[in-house]
Chain A
Amino acid sequence: MNSNILEVKNLKTTFSSRKASFNAVDGISFHVAKGETLGIVGESGCGKSVTSLSIMGLVKPPGKVSGDQIDFNGVNLLNLPKREMRNLRGNKISMIFQEPMTSLNPVYSVGEQIGETLKIHKKLKGEERKRKVVDLLKQVGIPRADEIYDNYPHQLSGGMRQRVMIAMAMACDPQLIIADEPTTALDVTIQAQILELMKDLQSKKGMSMILITHDLGVVSEVCDRLIVMYAGKIVETGPVKEVLNNPSHPYTKGLLASLPKKGHKEKRLHFIPGQVPAPANWGKGCRFSDRCPYTMSQCETSLPPLMKAGEAQESACWLIPDEEGSTHNGFIEATR
Chain B
Amino acid sequence: MFGGKYVPETLMFPLQELEEALETAMEDERFIKEYRELLSEYSGRETPLTLAANLTRKVEGPKIYLKREDLNHTGAHKINNAIGQALLAKRMGKQHLIAETGAGQHGVATATVAARFGMSCKVFMGIEDIKRQELNVFRMKLLGAEVITVESGNGTLKDATNEAIRYWVSHCDDHFYLIGSVVGPHPYPAMVRNFQKVIGEETKQQIIAKEGRLPDRIYACVGGGSNSIGMFYPFLEDPVELIGIEAAGLGLNTAEHAATLTRGSKGVIHGSYTYLLQDEHGQILEPYSISAGLDYPGIGPEHAFLFDSGKVRYEAVTDLEAVEALRCLSETEGIIPAIESAHAVAQAIKEAKHLPMDQIIVINLSGRGDKDMHTIMNVLEGDDDNQGAL
Question: Is A bound to B?
Answer: no
Interface, chain A (partner B; CB < 8 A): none
